[in-house]
Amino acid sequence: MTASLRRGQKHGENMALTDEQVERYARHLILKGVGVKGQKRLLASSVLIIGAGGLGSPVALYLAAAGVGRIGLVDGDMVDLSNLQRQIIHTTARVNEPKVESAAAAIRELNPDVTVDTYYELVDANNIAGLIEAYDLVIEATDNFAAKFLINDACVLANKPYIHAGVVGFAGQVMTVIPGEGPCYRCIFRDMPAAGEIPTCKEAGVLGAVVGVIGSLEATEAVKLIVGVGEPLVGRMLTVDALNMNIRRVPLPEHVPDCPVCGEQPTITAIDSANYIQPACAI
């Protein structure tokens, strides 16, 4: 577990679990590597999910089920009928509601232990620093490169660990960024692709179940980081080609000296709104 994830959790580790929590989290409590200490860490942790759509749906549901004590949801969109093919946290009855409120309702129904913060807005260069500040960990669950580069740069500058994912068609990828411990998103993808160069899910389509797989992997990485167990995807990118069921763990460079945000002489030292366009949030 990173130092930033451990801060603020010591008080929670001294709290006793209630009888209801012992029953709710029973499968965690007997799981080697989690146990009572790990469950208390989950209950004392906070995670911000940027994007309450296809990726954000399984992330939010599994982190809520796991007992993450505080979950923040950021999204400026409303539930649309076309979302329901993959955004499983929403329902037909909640079409035309803000996605953050729809997702918050599902989380509260699933686990009353969880405090839910909702931010009905698009993340942008003006608000991202304030949004990520109060959380231990950030989950990037967005649908476009502008948002991905913005979230990466803000998290690296704030020394905030975050988990990246991307999906299109039948394929997806996941990586974990812990500033100072491995490469960031910009180390691998230096510059934002030109508009229209790479098709979006809206243009190319996406298999709903694949989004669920990739989002579930993000949730798994988050739980591992919070509990402090296993090997995170730092310095590695997990790629999934569901059409051929080909899963690979691709090694990434350990250090990229000329990375513009985390390199030896960074050129990105602040989030300047002139360098980022207004992004949409969810796949």
Which is it for strands 171-177 and 162-168: parallel, antiparallel or unpaired? antiparallel
Is 8's pLDDT higher than 70?
A: no
Query: Where would I find the H helices in 119-158?
Result: 128-133, 145-157
Domain around 34: 3-275
Closest to 67 in 3D by CA, of 17, 105, 103: 17
Confidence of residue 274 (pLDDT cuts 50, 70, 90): confident
The tokens of 162 are what? 């975050």
**Model pLDDT, residue 14:** 73
Q: What is the average pLDDT across 192-211?
A: 81
Would you say residue 66 lies in a domain?
A: yes
pLDDT confidence tier of residue 280, bands split at 50, 70 and 90: low
Count of Cβ atoms closer than 10 Å to residue 271 Cβ: 18
CA distances (Å), origin 211, targets 23, 58, 172: 30, 9, 8
Asked if residue 283 is part of any domain, the answer here is no
pLDDT band at 278 (very low <50, low <70, confident <90, very high): low
Model confidence band, residue 204 (pLDDT cutoffs 50, 70, 90):
confident
Is 192 or 91 the better-scoring residue by pLDDT?
91
For residue 192, tell me if it sits in a domain: yes
Task: Give me Rg for the CA atoms of the chain.
Answer: 18
> Does 120 map to a domain?
yes
Global pTM reads: 0.94
Confidence of residue 277 (pLDDT cuts 50, 70, 90): low
The answer as to whether 29 is a domain residue is yes
Is 281 within a domain? no
CATH number at residue 150: 3.40.50.720
User: Cα-Cα-Cα-Cα dihedral of 63, 169, 162, 50, to 10°?
Assistant: -70
Q: Mean pLDDT in the chain?
A: 92
Q: Check residue 11 and give its pLDDT.
A: 52
Residues acting as catalytic residues: 201
* Percent share of the chain, pLDDT over 70: 92
Q: Give a yes or no: residue 282 inside a domain.
A: no
The verdict on residue 205 lying in a domain is yes
In the chain, the number of structural domains is 1
- In DSSP notation, 232-270 reads --TTEEEEEETTTTEEEEEE--S--TT-TTTSSS-S--S
pLDDT at 188: 95
Residue 172, C-beta contacts closer than 8 angstroms, at least 6 positions apart:
165, 166, 210, 211, 213, 214, 239, 240, 242
Q: Which residues are annotated as a binding site for Zn(2+)?
A: 184, 187, 259, 262
Of the listed ranges 8-12, 47-51, 61-65, 105-109, the one predicted with least confidence: 8-12
Measured CA to CA, the distance from residue 88 to residue 80 in angstroms comes to 12
pLDDT of residue 74 exceeding 90, the answer is yes
pLDDT at 228 exceeding the cut of 70? yes
The predicted structure's pLDDT at residue 10: 57
pLDDT, tens only, 116-167: 999 999 999 999 999 999 999 999 999 888 899 999 999 999 999 999 999 9
- The string of pLDDT tens digits covering residues 20-31 is 999 999 999 999
- The two tokens of residue 99 are 């996605």
Model confidence over 93-105: pLDDT tens digits?
999 999 999 999 9
